[in-house]
Structure 1
Amino acid sequence: MANPAYPMARQCPMAPPAQYAELREQGPVKVDMPDGGWAWLLTSYADVRQAMNDPRFSSDDDKMNRKRTELPPGHDLNSFWRKDEPEHGRLRHMMMTEFTAKRIKEWRPRIEALVEQLLDRLETLPRPLDLYSEFCLALPTQVIAQLLGVPPQDYRLFAQQSRDCLSLDDPSKSWAAFNDMNDYLNKLIEEKEHDPKDDLISRLLHERVLTGELDRKDLLPMVRFILVSGFETTTSQITLSSLTLMTNPDVRLKLAAEPERITAFVEESLRFWSVSQDNILRVVDQDMEFSGTRMSVGDLAVLAIPSANHDGNAFPDPERFDLDRGENRHVAFGFGTHLCAGASLARREVEIAIPALFDRYPNLRLAGDFDDLNFRQESLVYGVEKLLVTW
């Protein structure tokens, strides 16, 4: 019997691939990868959550079969995200100083000001307008650009490069964007070495690299990871959270009546949409039995976040957007040592953006039919290409 093919398409744009429900009952299963190799696919909440924090599943690119991960010869991602302990923890700690509760609190007024500026601008645009590009994309782009110290005139450039990097449509285009981004960031790092500012790149460079604590070769992938992961996922989350309220009047009314429940709304939206859909890879680091399955050193494993977050054993009635779900221990940001470093910043952006948007435009609605929306399947980050709205 042939293995199922991976990745799997969503039959319903509001839910993960339907095949996951059946696969969760089977435990880890072999799936055929696009390059002709195979991998173990983990689909249950229990398996995915355990594997995320199990040292027997390695994140180290050097232990992975390059052909399976489609890494072109001569390319090395070299990101702390793709390393194991203790090196991962050492590098992550350096970056986490930029995402402490104190830092995020300091950023709140700046995020609120950016939101108000963008909402003011929406009033000047003809309708219908594309909420995705004019608001949902613009906010995280400007936040992460200001955090890194990217000049305003380059905001759109790096946003497009990041999106192209995450696309699964054309590997050659993705790698071209990857190389262009490296060239751009190397130039930016060089500029900040000679003319430092109050931004993350300058601080990492002058407080970590030039003091010898951080190897210069680790700075570029660290900055690149922050850039790519720090805005594309947040963009999709703001977009789809907005879509949720425009298509769920009951949730919209409840949130309007109880605005203090915005945190619960954001957590349920993170679980429900699970925008990081195909990008969690691990390699088996020792022969073992995991969830009743024998796995061998070198086996590739895919951790399906959307499937885990829609596992009925962990989340009753998982296909329903439930503002009353209570404790919501989703794995949208990962779990354990590899928990997303920018999770707090992303949460604050959504928590600020969504209430402000619907307070300013209480009659905000889709300008066309839901069925006309073009959902982005061929990408590591799920989302829509455009969101036309009016009020």
Structure 2
Amino acid sequence: MANPAYPMTRQCPMSPPPTYAELREQGPAKVDLPDGGWAWLLTSYDDVRQAMNDPRFSSDDEKMGRARTELPPNENLNSFWRMDEPEHGRQRHMMMTEFTAKRIKEWRPRIQKLVDELLDRLETLPRPLDLYSEFALALPTQVIAQLLGVPQQDYRTFAEQSRTILSLDKPEESWAAYYEMNAYLNRLIASREREPQDDLISRLITDRVQSGELSREDLLPMVRFILVSGYETTTSQIALSALTLMTNPEVRAQLIEDPERITAFVEESLRFWSVSQDNVLRVVDQDMTFSGTAMTAGELVILAVPAANHDAKAFPDPERFDLERGDNRHVAFGFGTHLCAGASLARREVEIAITSLLSRLPDIRLVGKIDDLTFRQKSLVYGLERLPVTW
């Protein structure tokens, strides 16, 4: 019997691919990849969560056999996200000073100001309008750009490049965007080396590169990772959270009645949508038995986050958006040593965006039906193309 083909397509935009549920009962399953190879696919919550923090699974791209012949000789592909300990932890620690609870608290009024300005502008635009581009995309783009020190006139450019890099549809365009972003970031880093400013890139140069803790070669992929991951997932999460409000009257009413439930709403939205759909990979680092399955060193493993977050054993009635889940231990941000460094910032952005949207535009509604919307399936990050709304 042939292995299922991967990646898999969501048949219903509100749910993970149905094949995940079918495969979950058999444990780790073999799936065929577009390049002719195969990989293990983990679909249960317990398996995915354990594998995320199991040192027998490596995150190192070099061990995954990824072809590097197409890259320039001195190209540094890997960010710390694609490294193992201790180097992963060492580099991750360097940027965590920007994402501490204290720093996120300091960012809160800045995020609120940006949200208020965006909503002020929305109220002046003709309706219907695209909430995705005018709000969901605009907010994280500005936040991460201000954090890194990207000039305002370049916001849209790097946003377009990021989306193209994450696309699975046209590899040649993804690589072209990747090189364009590298060239841009190298120019930006060089500018900050000459004239440091009050931004993350300048602080990494001053505190880490000049001290010898971080090489100039490793700075580029670190900044690129923060830039791409820092806006794309949050953009999708804000848009899909807004869609939830407009298509789920009961949840909307609960939030209006008790705004303090916004924390539960954000966590459930993270679980429900699981936007990081095809980008959590590992490689077996040693021969072993995992979840009753014999695995051999060098084999590729895919950790299906949407499948884990919709495992009924961990989340009863997983297809229901439920604000009463209590201890919502989803793995939307990963788990263990590779837990997303920017998780707290992303949570605050979604929380402030949705709270303010509901407060300022309580009558906001979707134009048309869900079936009329276009969802991005062929991308490492699930999301919408547009979100037409009025009020």
Q: Same fold (TM over 0.5)?
A: yes
Specify the alignment match of 1:270 in structure 2.
270
> How far apart, CA to CA, are the structure 2 residues paired with 1:356 and 1:314?
31
Partner of 2:259: 259
Gaps of 5+ in 2: none
Structure 2 CA distance for aligned equivalents of residues 197 and 215 of structure 1? 20
Matched, 1:331 2:331: yes
Give the aligned residue type for 2:241.
S
AA matched with 1:124: T
Q: Is the 8 A contact 2:129 2:388 kept in 1?
A: yes
CA distance in 2, matches of 1:94, 1:66: 27
1:340 pairs with 2:348:
no
> In 2, distance between residues paired with 1:38 and 1:73?
23
2:56 paired with 1:53: no
Q: In structure 1, what is the equivalent of residue 141 of structure 2?
A: 141
In 1, Cα distance between the equivalents of 2:26 and 2:284? 19
Q: Size of the alignment, in residue pairs?
A: 389
Higher mean alpha-carbon deviation, 75-84 vs 139-148, is at 75-84
Q: Is the 8 A contact 2:76 2:218 kept in 1?
A: no
SS at match of 1:243: helix
2:30 counterpart residue number? 30
**Within-5 A mapping of 1:144-183:** 144-183=144-183
Q: SS state of the match for residue 91, structure 2?
A: helix
Q: CA deviation at 1:72?
A: 3.8
Q: In 2, distance between residues paired with 1:284 and 1:205?
A: 35
Whole-angstrom distance in 1 between the partners of 2:77 and 2:203:
22
Q: Which residue number in structure 2 is paired with residue 210 of structure 1?
A: 210
Note the alpha carbon deviations across 1:241-293, whole angstroms, 9 max, x for none.
00000000000001110100100000000000000000001000000000010
Match of 1:227 in 2: 227
Does 2:386 align with 1:360? no
Q: What's the counterpart of residue 283 of structure 1?
A: 283
Q: What is the Cα deviation at residue 62 of structure 1? A: 1.2
| Cα distance change, pair 49–33 in 1 and its aligned pair in 2 (3 A) | same
Q: Deviations over 1:43-69 (max 9, x none)?
A: 0000000000000000011111125xx
Identity of aligned residues (%): 77
In structure 2, the partner of 1:200 is 200
Q: CA deviation at 1:73?
A: 4.3
| Whole-angstrom distance in 1 between the partners of 2:16 and 2:32 | 18
Q: Distance in 2 between matches of 1:380 and 1:71?
A: 23
2:114 is aligned with what amino acid? L
How many Å separate the matches in 2 of 1:41 and 1:156?
35
Structure 1 position 197, deviation (Å)? 0.6
1:192-238 deviation per Cα after TM superposition (whole angstroms, max 9, x unaligned)? 01111100000001110011111111100000000000000000000
Distance in structure 1 (CA, Å) of the matches to 2:370 and 2:300: 37
Give SS of 2:297's match. Answer: coil
Matching residue of 2:307: 307
Length-normalised TM-score, structure 2: 0.98
How many angstroms apart in 2 are the aligned matches of 1:137 and 1:44? 32
State the shift of 1:313 in Å: 0.4
Aligned to 2:377: 377
**Tell me, what secondary structure is at the counterpart of 1:66?**
coil
Does the alignment pair 1:66 with 2:49?
no
Structure 2 Cα separation of the partners of residues 86 and 202 of structure 1: 25
Secondary structure, in 3 states, of the residue corresponding to 2:20? Answer: helix
Which whole-Å deviations, capped at 9, do the CAs of 1:81-116 have from their partners, x for residues lacking one?
Answer: 000000000000001111011110100000000000
Please tell me the residue identity of whatever aligns with 1:318. P
Answer yes or no: is 1:40 the counterpart of 2:47: no
Q: Which runs of 5+ in 1 are unaligned?
A: none
- Following TM superposition, where does structure 1 have runs of at least 4 consecutive aligned residues deviating by more than 3 angstroms? 70-76
Give the C-alpha shift of residue 295 in structure 1. Answer: 0.2
Q: What amino acid maps onto 1:57 in structure 2?
A: F
Q: Which amino acid aligns with 1:258?
A: D
Q: 1:195 to 1:76 in 2, by over 3 A?
A: closer
Q: Distance in 2 between matches of 1:214 and 1:226?
A: 16
SS in 2 for 1:264: helix
Residue in structure 1 matched with residue 298 of structure 2 by the alignment: 298
